[in-house]
Amino acid sequence: MNTTHDRRTFLRTTAMAAATAAVAGGRTTHALPLFEESSGIRWDKAPCRFCGTGCHVQVGVEDGRVVAIAGDQQADVNKGLLCVKGYHVGMILYGEDRLTRPLLRRGDAYEPISWDEAIDVVARRIMKAPERFAMYGSGQWTIPEGYAAQKFMKGGLANNHIDPNARLCMASAVTGFLATYGVDEPAGCYADLDECDVLITWGNNPAEMHPVLFSRIIDRRSRGESVRLIDIGTRRTRTTEQAQDFLLMNPHGDVPIALGICHLLIENGTYDRDFVERHCNFRAPQADTPTLTGEAIPFEEYKRRIARYTPEHVETLSGVPAAQIRMLADLFGNRDLRITSLWCMGMNQHTMGTAVNSLVHGVHLLSGHFGRPGDAPTSLTGQPSACGTVREVGTLAHALPGGRVVTDPEHRAQ
């Protein structure tokens, strides 16, 4: 049967698939057999490409077309759940404006050409002037795609003119990780959402941007667990609706807020002295030749530098009442609690992105809310392979695979 599926049919079939998976009650591996037997639809696995959560989806195919989407119950990331964006991911293939053929610009117009012709045109122009060729990728690339592109450009053409849209997405998260830990990748993981007592969202709206992750908190509350949600931001969002505390700040107010917390932890003697002495050092920007890591300073110098960030001074800078700054410091000063911080593009596309990333990491390190389940500073990504394809594979102009960089002769030799 060669059936044409419109939007309504797709949504109805998807809803039936999701309901069947829920009723089945068991976990699936690569298919939903009950639904497959009743409809003839073939099921396969795929990742959702909408955000950085990384949900696993079951894709129902009939007559060569995607006709249904369901969450994968085997996946620890989403545990069978999808958000409205995930349930619609299959419809991307059939949008009227989707590009399905190469287009070649002739004058002011773009003309469709064949794939063979497109490859010939690109090859001729590359061979004529390989140093003038560039490639623009994204965090939507799969890891094999990114590695092939990286090897083609830097290995094949001896040209590092390759960069992804993630450069504009979360580059400051990367520099924050490198400046703080010396390596690139977050310290926390999704499982911290299942363990934390307090969740702080810094300029972040996971209720709408990462709803599958946010549902973990709502699910815990529905089962009677106590999870305190504190939302820090410049506007109210759907995340705010679920928060016990909302700290309405001025733009860039998160920088003085983080400094104010650190000041109070030291002033009140509630910072984790043992953790700091064993695991932390303190650094400050170099005036003459600025670097990502700065220069080492003693603890007393760090204490002196942040002494002016009293709650009252922070209030004048951030717009957040001094009492709420003290509330945050009291929570971080209590090591019986497990505290997770979440942020995404609100901090990562900040005009002081590297600084505010490093500061929030620093709050967790200074307070000792680090390295235990539920105690973590975690930057969420906006794309599903911003870490794997972009950073681990190195599809950035300055990068090589495995955390290596183009400017290091030893890395280039490897």
Q: Which residues are catalytic?
A: 85, 169-170, 345, 382-383
Q: Supply 66's token pair.
A: 């995607």
B/e letters for 366-388, b = 16+ CB within 10 Å, e = fewer, are bbbbbeeebbbbbbbbbbbbbbb
Q: Measure Cα distances from 325 to 19, 154, 346, 352 in Å.
A: 45, 49, 20, 20
Q: Is 216 left (phi over 0), alpha (psi -120 to 50) or beta?
A: alpha
Enclosing H/E stretch for 245: strand 245-248
Q: Are 381 and 186 in contact (CB under 8 A)?
A: no
Q: Supply 63's token pair.
A: 């007559």
Angstrom distance (rounded) from CA 58 to CA 70: 5
Q: If you count them, how many residues does the chain have?
A: 414
| DSSP-derived secondary structure letter, 392 | I
B/e letters for 333-348, b = 16+ CB within 10 Å, e = fewer, are beeebbbbbbbbbbbb
Enclosing H/E stretch for 296: strand 295-297
Enclosing H/E stretch for 136: strand 135-137
Sign of CA dihedral 314, 318, 322, 327: negative
Q: Measure Cα distances from 318 to 259, 306, 354 in Å.
A: 11, 15, 18
Q: Measure Cα distances from 227 to 44, 157, 337, 391 in Å.
A: 36, 53, 11, 33
Q: Is 134 left (phi over 0), alpha (psi -120 to 50) or beta?
A: beta
Helix, strand, or coil (residue 199): strand
Point out which residues pair with 43 in neighbouring strands: 60
Cα-based torsion angle of the residue sequence 155, 161, 165, 168 in order, rounded to the nearest 10 degrees: 130
